[in-house]
């Protein structure tokens, strides 16, 4: 599995059932998790979720597969997770990332601002309503931008 901004990590198969019960079987006012699916090509392109932090904010995560980054899926996932958090009483989003994370600029462009630091980790926060309405960063969600679709189309043309 992936760890936000720091690469891959082991995910022992013996922990899968417990993880499923914790994330999928939870009340969305505490935890929420969804895969990001592209209906245009039929592929899962990433995942997003949150858990309620001690300060009442939605501590989010957002992961997009490497071959689908910079295609708008992350922004769509972020807008979705912001609207679900807002529906469940969390008007602030937060994210904790390593200070050298390449995602720092990405999150800053989408309205997140540094709110604290814990050693090598930075806590960033944003207003859930602004992010859910796309007031920070607009994307075109009307078409599939998945690179898998393009690869399949190119392969069919070359056959």
The model's confidence at residue 4, banded by pLDDT at 50, 70 and 90, is low
pLDDT at residue 139, rounded to an integer: 45
Q: Going by C-beta distance under 8 Å and a sequence separation of 6 or more, which residues neighbour residue 29?
A: 52, 88, 89
Q: Does an H or E element contain 68, and which?
A: none
pLDDT tens sequence across 29-83: 899 998 888 877 778 888 889 999 999 999 999 888 777 777 788 888 898 999 9
Whole-structure pTM value: 0.76
């Amino acid at each position: 599995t992936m760890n936000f901004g720091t690469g891959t990590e082991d995910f022992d198969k013996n922990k899968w059932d417990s993880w499923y019960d914790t994330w999928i079987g939870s009340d969305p006012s505490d935890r929420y998790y969804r895969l990001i699916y592209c209906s245009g090509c039929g592929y899962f392109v990433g995942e997003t979720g949150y858990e309620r932090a001690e300060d009442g904010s939605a501590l989010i995560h957002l992961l997009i597969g490497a071959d689908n980054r910079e295609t708008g899926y992350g922004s769509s996932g972020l807008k979705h997770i912001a609207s679900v958090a807002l529906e469940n009483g969390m008007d602030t989003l937060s994210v904790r990332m390593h200070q050298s994370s390449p995602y720092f600029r990405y999150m800053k462009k989408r309205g997140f601002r540094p709110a604290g630091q814990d050693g090598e980790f930075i806590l960033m926060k944003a207003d859930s309503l602004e992010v859910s309405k796309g007031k920070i960063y607009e994307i075109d969600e009307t078409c599939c931008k998945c690179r898998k679709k393009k690869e399949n189309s190119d392969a069919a043309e070359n056959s």
